[in-house]
Structure 1
């Protein structure tokens, strides 16, 4: 029997054997995080040598094992208590091992942003995928049609935001000889936002077009409130609430038209306003409310630290930052200027610059005047660290915005405790961007 996205499922939702096989990958020069001593060894054999952080070079990005575990469990428990489904955004990490941890904790599926990411997920046997985008590429739709035909247990849903996108999808799927209907959510946007119908009435007309398209099935409504606000000010929160109420109105207009035989889907929620999504949408009748938060798995020491609902008092312990950059002082050309060997190719910078936290094996930098003021491609400008950061010192850096951190690393070491004087490497997370 073919699955719909809203159907309840059993099993892990990912091919555990394929994830486990990542331990057999042979390490070499392709993985900039790892020293030559690791080359020629499998991931499993390298970890068996009990490597230490001190044996890795710089620049470097690491994950803290305990923080990742805490974040995954905390979000799963929060969603279970709120009575909503979690379909975390896999684009944040593009790491099948982390997707597996999220699914094992109770996630309903995995969200992705484009077709190449969907193909990675399918390569690892992910069985329930939400594409938070509109898929119009005819070749891609042909591939999707073949995947759905070959695997009746594969459940997939994507977005549409215009009658023209409905027409193009239907045309391409017919040409591909699609045997299963593709489930779609009508996307509601907002003024100044990204994609999405600009109003409920327009969205209702798009839904009517979906109902006329034989290759498509209306599964519900969705959108992204995070494109409409960027802070937790009263104005920002009011904008988000207004959008979510419009999404609830759209659900009310369309819920009886959804034809999947399962609960209509109402999907919203990144990692900044998921508490408001629950407050505004969780009580909707006959709806599967789906959160798509992704950044929570690593959290950060910047944007999400300042805006996360669990940092704003939404209940439960706050998330913990699991990502850290490590960079070495390579130059002190001026008394209050040090240059580090990590830059834009290594660390995120689009939602705030890295923050210096401590000198490895030495003093903490919190509360001092030390700060990163700029990044070049391969260097960071550290100012006002005084004598705390001599040439050769290695600094731990907090980073902001995990969505643009993981993509810079194909293999990320996992530490037992990033706060330890001598952290040990207990795992390696493989990414596929």
Structure 2
């Protein structure tokens, strides 16, 4: 019987080996002085932020530690499990930190991400999607067969999808655990009504090579703010998840060989998810919040439960952009040397905070080109480095293969104390 409740492990030696990777021109964040050194050797030189070229994305050590502890404590108090969405960072070292803090597993979104996680030995993975690629299904089955300690769960939202999965897994050994995905009108994937979801559950339960493990979904595609209407939409959706689970249980479709999982919860409404799903007896509620570790200065700052009053210790932004004033071509306009290739912009443009040396700034970023930001009405001078607040960590990390970690982003002369490797 698979318990799937104990602590998830990662291959710590493989994560530690990242410190021995040789640094060179492939990593745009680094100064030329780092080339030829390993990450460990470069950090031993005690580099400071002023040595690094612009544009640049950095993390803040203190904010990371605070957010990690805050979310772990919140989940423990709420009685729910956390499988943070690893696609946010695609950084095995940060996954390890989340697992060390008590995370139940790691969530991912596609096959390529799963392979990264398995390369670093993550033992419990939740794919918040259907896996229909036949080669991918056979790969997952082979991973399960080769490693008795590996646990893998994915989704399905239609009997047709279940049929394709079963066909690809003919003759497989250990079954793949599957959650029935319930969606909603205007949402992403997921069965659109209870009857379609129940038919999917019956198909999973009847298919060799698959095991019905519970119910899952994503409420964040149905609401986009924390106003009364948005919260009501999320509440109603979560109640539909509970009702679906009740019908599956009444039909005795669960086989009793493992815990029943109820999974929802992005980074915006996990308080509602914990309250509604966490009240269902004889189940394990698994949140998938991923942005909490980095947080931001924009979208999540306004919508996260741990930023809008849902806990005693608000999350702190752990990422900043840094860009230099490269041109002052006309009065009231400065061009920064960082743009869409460097900073996120899908959930709001960067905001101006201060210079690298700590001087307060005003002004507004009004547009981004590929490699430039248009900064209006600012006192930033030619050659000065500007610190930017950023919105949406998921589309910040994917632009950087190596990210410096500062001891304190608010200090006058921050030191670089770590380098985080990403794999997108």
CA displacement 1:162-192 (0-9 Å, x = unmatched): 0010000000111xx3111110000000000
Match of 1:48 in 2: 44
- Does 2:380 correspond to 1:381? no
Match of 1:404 among 395, 399, 402: 395
- Shift in Å, 1:68: 0.5
CA displacement 1:340-386 (0-9 Å, x = unmatched): 00000000000000001001114212xx3x0100000000000000x
Match of 1:213 in 2: 207
- The DSSP-based 3-state class of the residue aligned with 2:129 is coil
Match of 1:7 in 2: 4
Q: How large is the Cα RMSD of the aligned pairs?
A: 1.0
Match of 1:19 in 2: 15
Match of 2:185 among 188, 191, 195: 191
Segments of structure 2 that go 5 or more residues without pairing to the other structure are none
In 2, distance between residues paired with 1:242 and 1:251?
15
Match of 1:104 among 86, 100, 105: 100
CA displacement 1:280-303 (0-9 Å, x = unmatched): 111101110000000001000000
In 2, distance between residues paired with 1:235 and 1:246?
17
Aligned ranges 1:394-433 → 2 under 5 Å = 394-433=385-424
- The DSSP-based 3-state class of the residue aligned with 1:72 is helix
- Shift in Å, 1:262: 2.1
Segments of structure 1 that go 5 or more residues without pairing to the other structure are none
- Does 2:280 correspond to 1:287? no
Match of 1:363 in 2: 359
Compare 29-38 and 12-21 and name the one that shifted more. 12-21
CA displacement 1:192-230 (0-9 Å, x = unmatched): 000000011210111011111011000000000000000
Match of 1:29 in 2: 25
Match of 2:269 in 1: 273
Aligned ranges 1:53-92 → 2 under 5 Å = 53-92=49-88
In 1, distance between residues paired with 2:387 and 2:334?
14
In 1, distance between residues paired with 2:20 and 2:29?
18
In 1, distance between residues paired with 2:401 and 2:340?
16
Q: Retained in 2: the 8 A contact 1:197–1:203?
A: yes
Match of 2:244 in 1: 250
- The DSSP-based 3-state class of the residue aligned with 2:130 is coil
In 2, distance between residues paired with 1:34 and 1:393?
19
Match of 1:372 in 2: 365
In 2, distance between residues paired with 1:389 and 1:399?
18
In 1, distance between residues paired with 2:6 and 2:80?
15
CA displacement 1:87-123 (0-9 Å, x = unmatched): 0000000000000000000000000000000000000
CA displacement 1:291-327 (0-9 Å, x = unmatched): 0000001000000000010122112211000000000
Match of 1:154 in 2: 150
In 1, distance between residues paired with 2:302 and 2:209?
44
- Shift in Å, 1:13: 1.1
The TM-score, its normalising length taken from structure 1, stands at 0.96
